[in-house]
A and B are shown apart, each in its own frame.
Chain A
Amino acid sequence: MTIPRPLFQAAQKTTLALLVTTVALTILFPLFFLFTFSLMSDYETYSEWPKPLWPHSQVRYRMEKISPQTTRLLIWNHGQSQWQPFGPEHIEANEEVAKKLSRFLTNYGNTTLSPSEILSHVQKAQNSGFHEFTAQKSLSQNYQRFFRLYSGAADAVLHSLSTALLTILISVVIGGMAGYAFARYVFKGKDVLKLSVLFVRMFPPVAIAIPMVVILGRMGLYDRPAGLSLIYSVNQIAMNIWITASIFMGIPESLEEAALIFGANKRGAFFRITLPLAVPGLAACAMYSFISSWNEVINALILTQFRPTFPVVVYKSLLGANAQVHLIAAGSIAQAAPAILFTLIIRRYLLQMWGGVKV
């Protein structure tokens, strides 16, 4: 029995659509999950279930009078649709308690209420038995807190950026030149050499950590972005050689020969004809180098101390911010953002590589 062609095509398209959707969700869902958590307060993160698809921008509070001297605070739990106790069991109407509660609401509710505002709400609850009010939630609070608490985080972004850009520079230039040589010249042992460049990627970083510390120390590059970028470049050069060699092999040599016939010299033919055509491949190398360098932790952890890269700061926050997943989420999103941005910037060249856009 033969399957009718329209049915076969529909099945084919459906399968493809399902596959693409699955891949997209696999990538997007964790990012969305992290992003959503990075906007949540501690209370929303741990006490509300089910979690909202999008965090609330306001928090509803209720003060209830317990006795003529004390009140208690409740928070609206969206997951369970009910008021729940929040904060200390008893709130007395004095400045010290109000200050403490203000700090608590900032840290665990992501809402800013001054001690005088709190005292005013307490007073209203005392007068009428209970008092409900809404406070604006700061969606950027976890990000602010992350960068404030991990005081080296802003510098670490610069170190990471510098390391990544230097890695691109070194690995694309050297890898590109070697790739061109592998593509254009025939020499003895070419295949063995081409394969052997990948050997450097086979050593576990921890195994060669001590020699690396010693060598970088002697070079005065320990704890420097330049030293780290050298280490990253060694790995990246190997990969870039493979990518660029195949790109240069795909560019017909006859184009360079034609340029030579029309009066260009060897260098001119390379820079004016071959290099522009290889830009998509080089962009792919740059992207790969950037992302590998930007996200690398193990080497950076060993080879830096006071000039850590941003992933090291995020990693350390994972150790420190116990039971504060919303803070870690903020750090993780802050780490992912530049890599996404960089990929978007060079996407045009990457698409050219796959034939999506013409040069």
Chain B
Amino acid sequence: MKFRALMTVLLILPALLFANGGAEEGDEPTRLVVSSRLYSQPGEQQFLIDEVFPAFEEANNCMVMFEIIEDEPLLKRAQFQKESGRVTTDVVVSHAGQMANWIRNDYVMPLPVDQWTDRTFSKAFTESISMNGQTYFAPVGGDVYLTLINKKAMPYMPTGVDPQDLRWEDYVNWAAAVAEGEGEGKAAVTGIPQKSLIYMYGGMFLSYGSDFPVINSPEAMEAWELLTKMQYAYTPTVNSYDNVSVPMKNGEAWMTVAHMVRCGDAYQSNPSAYILAPAPAGPKGIGSIAGTSGFAVVKGAPHPELAVKFIEYMTEPAMAVKVARGTGGFIPPIDEAIEQLGDSVQDEIIAKGIMVMKNGVVSGVPGGDYSSWGAVKQVYDDAFQELILKKGEVSTAYLNDAQDRIDALKK
């Protein structure tokens, strides 16, 4: 009986002690809440917490509370907080594709970018970060598309091809040769709908001279013709990939053109096993969709002035360079920061990314122009399934119909 009583006390006591969840806000410095979809890798967060935030915290007597949340829940939480009148987030970091939703729903406030004369946000992102002449987001963590090849594919490389200077025909022929030699495809792309397939194909179409996200221009048709050769070049499990780093790491896939961070995940795990190169080039050069994320101050934030200061601090060119070097895998979308990085970049992933950004035909993500960017992605996903995996031939009628579906989504 005594044992039971003791156990009960032992159970109840800690529960009551911690019921309030520990220290009160009044006991600590001001808490600046930063909710981000970017820097989700543990090492990246650690770098920010150890190397970047302390100077800001010391200068402003505050504590940066950094948390990772995906785009959708982040947006949903903003809605909850706005409707409940209890906004607890100061700064959000959203993906370019979602920025329009943040701005249109009046969840974020304009930034005083005119006062930040020492930095120029890269032109590729102007469309995403602003609306009606006002800038709501300060871009951070730019990304482009790179090629990653497992060295096991080297025996199948077409003659005369330089992996660092690939053309799309070389890539397609190489992937087809691997499939033939190995008895199954080894190329990867995100086959799960509404992920990043649109960006890989969109980048290719840009390199052929098309616009993004036009799916049926003559230039895009030319690219589709080439892509149909890859009917059997993709891995049998391609439809289960929501990102390509896992199949590239475990050797299920040997070749991919993918988001530089995904390529980086696999490449960094064993640099001697892979070749990292810029995205393949088409007749108009290298094409790539450039994505970015952006800082914004939440409307009704508990500490709006501090939030603006924080964004100003994080997007200073020198800080952007430091963050790019420390987190590895993202390009600073600030012209002055890219210039400072120059040729001194030791990180191969960033170096290749900058090379694509500087020399390629680059387009941002025009998510704000469409009522549902996810639905636009779906059109590309459907075309991939129908024309590449299922039929292996281009259908003009199908692509015209697909373009009509995209146009219908335009605002």
Closest A residue, CB atoms, query B4: A279
CB-based contact A210/B41 at 8 Å: no
Q: Which residues of B contact A225 (CB under 8 A)?
A: 18-21
Considering only residues 32-76 of chain B, those with a C-beta below 8 Å from chain A are 33, 40-43, 45-46, 49, 65, 67-70, 73
Measured CB to CB, the closest approach of chain A to B34, in angstroms, equals 12
Closest A residue, CB atoms, query B1: A276
The residue that A87 contacts in the complex, of B18, B31, B40, B271, with Cβ under 8 A, is B271
Contacts A210-B80, A302-B77, A323-B245 given; indicate if A222 touches B18 (C-beta within 8 A). no
Q: Which 7 A-B pairs have the closest CB atoms?
A: A165-B15, A149-B42, A162-B18, A320-B40, A85-B272, A307-B21, A226-B19
Q: Which residues of B contact A213 (CB under 8 A)?
A: 80-81, 84, 86
Give A301 to B83 CA distance when docked, in angstroms. 17
Interface majority SS (helix, strand, loop, mixed), chain A = helix
Measured CB to CB, the closest approach of chain A to B181, in angstroms, equals 19
Count the A residues whose beta carbon is within 8 Å of the partner chain — how many? 55
Q: A88 an interface residue at 8 Å Cβ cutoff?
A: yes
Q: A168 an interface residue at 8 Å Cβ cutoff?
A: yes
Give residues in A with beta carbon < 8 Å to B: 42-43, 46-47, 49, 72-73, 84-89, 107-108, 145, 148-151, 155, 158-159, 161-162, 165-166, 168-169, 209-210, 213-214, 217, 222-226, 229, 301-302, 305-307, 316-317, 319-325, 327
CB-based contact B266/A323 at 8 Å: yes
CB-based contact B269/A155 at 8 Å: no
CB-based contact B21/A224 at 8 Å: yes
CB-based contact A169/B12 at 8 Å: yes
Q: Which residues of B contact A223 (CB under 8 A)?
A: 21, 88
Give A52 to B246 CA distance when docked, in angstroms. 19
CB-based contact B84/A210 at 8 Å: yes
Give A213 to B21 CA distance when docked, in angstroms. 17
The residue that B68 contacts in the complex, of A89, A169, A222, A320, with Cβ under 8 A, is A320
CB-based contact B270/A85 at 8 Å: yes
Q: B128 an interface residue at 8 Å Cβ cutoff?
A: no
CB-based contact A166/B15 at 8 Å: yes
Measured CB to CB, the closest approach of chain A to B307, in angstroms, equals 16
Q: B183 an interface residue at 8 Å Cβ cutoff?
A: no
The residue that A46 contacts in the complex, of B12, B70, B269, with Cβ under 8 A, is B269
Give A72 to B273 CA distance when docked, in angstroms. 12
Contacts A155-B22, A321-B42 given; indicate if A162 touches B272 (C-beta within 8 A). no
Q: B249 an interface residue at 8 Å Cβ cutoff?
A: yes
Give A307 to B17 CA distance when docked, in angstroms. 14
Closest B residue, CB atoms, query A346: B7
Give A118 to B31 CA distance when docked, in angstroms. 43
Give A66 to B77 CA distance when docked, in angstroms. 55
Q: Which residues of B contact A161 (CB under 8 A)?
A: 14-15, 18
Q: Which residues of B contact A168 (CB under 8 A)?
A: 11
CB-based contact A217/B86 at 8 Å: yes
Give A317 to B18 CA distance when docked, in angstroms. 24
| 29 A/B residue pairs, CB under 8 Å, sorted by A | A42-B269, A46-B246, A46-B251, A47-B249, A47-B250, A47-B251, A85-B270, A87-B270, A87-B272, A88-B272, A108-B269, A149-B42, A149-B43, A149-B45, A150-B42, A158-B14, A169-B15, A210-B80, A210-B84, A214-B86, A223-B21, A225-B18, A225-B19, A226-B20, A229-B19, A302-B77, A316-B67, A319-B69, A322-B265
Measured CB to CB, the closest approach of chain B to A110, in angstroms, equals 13
Q: Which residues of B contact A149 (CB under 8 A)?
A: 42-43, 45-46
Q: B243 an interface residue at 8 Å Cβ cutoff?
A: yes
Q: Which residue among B17, B43, B265 has the maximum number of chain A CB atoms within 10 Å of its CB? A: B43
Give A161 to B70 CA distance when docked, in angstroms. 26
Closest B residue, CB atoms, query A159: B21
Measured CB to CB, the closest approach of chain B to A272, in angstroms, equals 11
Closest B residue, CB atoms, query A148: B46
Closest A residue, CB atoms, query B11: A165
Give A213 to B76 CA distance when docked, in angstroms. 13
Considering only residues 9-31 of chain B, those with a C-beta below 8 Å from chain A are 11-12, 14-22, 31
